[in-house]
């Protein structure tokens, strides 16, 4: 009986160890100190009021990997959203680009919907909320992964670590948004600021088409200052589509009404992108021309050397270290 008990205990310990190793940022703590219910600081409430908002208003969270920042936007009395606060990301893992599979240590990119069920008040990383990866788009592409969080501390395995102080404020903002009657908030994750210049700098990336796709949603928010409704069809994101119910992520996309503000921004960005790419190509051509001229000059002088000194024309003289002989006086004439 005792041996059987020890075997069971050993199996439980092994399973717990495996779960800890496989989960990205999913640790839970027992009990709790009510940290998830700590009231929002009065200074934050005052700052929200000053911008025409309140703790219970809707919010949007935007993450930019390269710049290592997380932004919280809040809905104001006008119905539009304004930037409320920017937090430095203490750590994230992986490179620029989306997450593909479990264990690749890559932090996700894309559009996600955060509901109260994704909040983790008992995280081993102080507080956390799940990004919701894999979402509809990720699943359509066969991407796998679990427990990809925005959490405290400064360690990351596919997550976004915000420090305990940072996640305490972000968590409180989300909590009050839900208390205000909002069923969810939107999480937008981008590789970098989605400017035409940045897109040009990464024009050779394998992720460029994906980034162009999520840039549409990014730009809609920039233009209208309201979070665009997103869905997935034809294995790509579609924004503000008019449809009767959820779309088939593998099926055809419905027609959409062009947004005038978005079209104007895209035209300006396309022109900037074209100019940036043209400038890059000109620079590459100039560098290639300079290299070719240098090689031609070296070849010319090499040919001259071969004409007058065979293969020794390019050999540097060797210094012996000995003193040069003194010239002798001319012999007297008789």
Average pLDDT, stretch 14-41?
63
Higher-confidence residue of 45 and 304: namely: 45
Helix then strand then coil, in percent of the chain rounded to 5, is 40, 15, 45
Q: Sheet holding 149-151: strands in order across? A: 91-92, 160-161, 149-151, 128-130, 119-120
CA distances from 235 to 116, 152, 187, 243 (A): 27, 33, 20, 16
* Same domain as 244, residue 212: yes
pLDDT at 252 over 60: yes
pLDDT at 321 over 70: no
CATH for 132: 2.40.440.10
**Contact yes or no for 279/201 (Cβ under 8 A):** no
Predicted structure pTM score? 0.78
DSSP state, residue 123: B
Query: Is residue 11 situated within a structural domain?
Result: no
**Contact yes or no for 89/66 (Cβ under 8 A):** no
Left (φ > 0), alpha (ψ -120 to 50) or beta: where does 155 sit? beta
Q: Which residue of the set 36, 90, 151, 233 is catalytic?
A: 151
* Same domain as 125, residue 38: yes
The closest of 301, 254, 250, 270 to 137, measured between CA atoms, is 250
pLDDT at 326 over 80: no
Percent share of the chain, pLDDT over 90:
64
* Same domain as 96, residue 201: no
Q: Supply the pLDDT for residue 12.
A: 46
- Tens of pLDDT, residues 284-320: 788 988 988 888 888 777 777 666 665 554 545 555 5
How much is the mean pLDDT over the chain? 86
* Same domain as 173, residue 200: no
Domain housing 171: 23-193
* Same domain as 31, residue 93: yes
Q: Supply the pLDDT for residue 74.
A: 98
Task: Give the span between the Cα atoms of 301 and 298, in whole angstroms.
Answer: 5
- Tens of pLDDT, residues 105-122: 999 999 999 999 999 999
Task: Give the span between the Cα atoms of 114 and 185, in whole angstroms.
Answer: 5
- CA dihedral of residues 75, 80, 82, 87 (deg, nearest 10): 60
Query: Is residue 5 situated within a structural domain?
Result: no
* Same domain as 179, residue 142: yes
Q: Supply the pLDDT for residue 324.
A: 57
Strands (E), 46-184: 59-64, 69-75, 81-88, 91-92, 110-114, 119-120, 128-130, 149-151, 160-161
Q: Does the annotation mark 151 as catalytic?
A: yes
Q: Which residue of the set 25, 36, 90, 159 is catalytic?
A: 159
CA distances from 265 to 45, 194, 227, 259, 271 (A): 34, 12, 17, 10, 10
* Same domain as 188, residue 65: yes
Q: Supply the pLDDT for residue 292.
A: 87
pLDDT at 205 over 80: yes
**Contact yes or no for 53/37 (Cβ under 8 A):** no
State both tokens at 84: 């409320």
* Same domain as 242, residue 152: no
Task: Give the span between the Cα atoms of 172 and 181, in whole angstroms.
Answer: 15
* Same domain as 159, residue 50: yes
* Same domain as 96, residue 58: yes
**Contact yes or no for 110/237 (Cβ under 8 A):** yes
């Amino acid at each position: 009986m005792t041996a059987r008990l020890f075997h069971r205990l050993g199996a439980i310990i092994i399973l717990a160890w495996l779960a800890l190793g496989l989960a990205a940022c999913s640790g839970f703590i027992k009990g709790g100190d009510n940290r998830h219910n700590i009231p929002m600081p009065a200074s934050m409430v005052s700052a929200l009021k000053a911008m025409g908002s309140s703790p219970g208003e809707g919010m949007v969270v935007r993450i930019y990997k390269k710049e290592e920042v997380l932004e919280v936007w809040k809905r104001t009395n006008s119905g539009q959203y304004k930037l409320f606060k920017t937090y430095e990301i203490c750590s994230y893992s992986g490179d620029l680009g989306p997450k593909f599979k479990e264990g690749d240590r890559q932090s996700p990119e894309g559009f996600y919907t955060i509901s109260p069920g994704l909040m983790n008040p008992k995280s081993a990383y102080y507080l956390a909320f799940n990004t919701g990866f894999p979402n509809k788009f990720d699943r359509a592409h066969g991407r796998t992964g679990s427990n990809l969080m925005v959490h405290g501390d400064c360690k990351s395995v596919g997550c976004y670590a915000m420090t305990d102080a940072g996640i305490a404020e972000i968590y409180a903002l989300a909590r009050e948004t839900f208390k205000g009657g909002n069923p969810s908030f939107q999480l937008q994750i981008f590789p970098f600021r989605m400017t035409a210049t940045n897109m040009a700098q990464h024009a050779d990336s394998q992720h460029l088409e994906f980034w162009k796709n999520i840039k549409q949603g990014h730009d809609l928010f920039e233009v209208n200052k309201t979070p665009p409704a997103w869905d997935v069809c034809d294995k790509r994101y579609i924004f503000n589509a008019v449809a009767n119910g959820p779309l088939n992520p593998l099926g055809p996309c419905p027609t959409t009404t062009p947004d005038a503000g978005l079209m104007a921004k895209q035209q300006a960005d396309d022109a900037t992108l074209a100019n940036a790419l043209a400038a890059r190509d000109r620079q590459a051509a100039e560098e290639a021309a300079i290299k070719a001229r240098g090689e031609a000059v070296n070849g010319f002088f090499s040919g001259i050397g071969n004409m007058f000194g065979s293969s020794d024309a390019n050999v540097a003289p060797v210094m012996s270290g000995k003193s040069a002989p003194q010239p002798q006086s001319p012999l007297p004439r008789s």
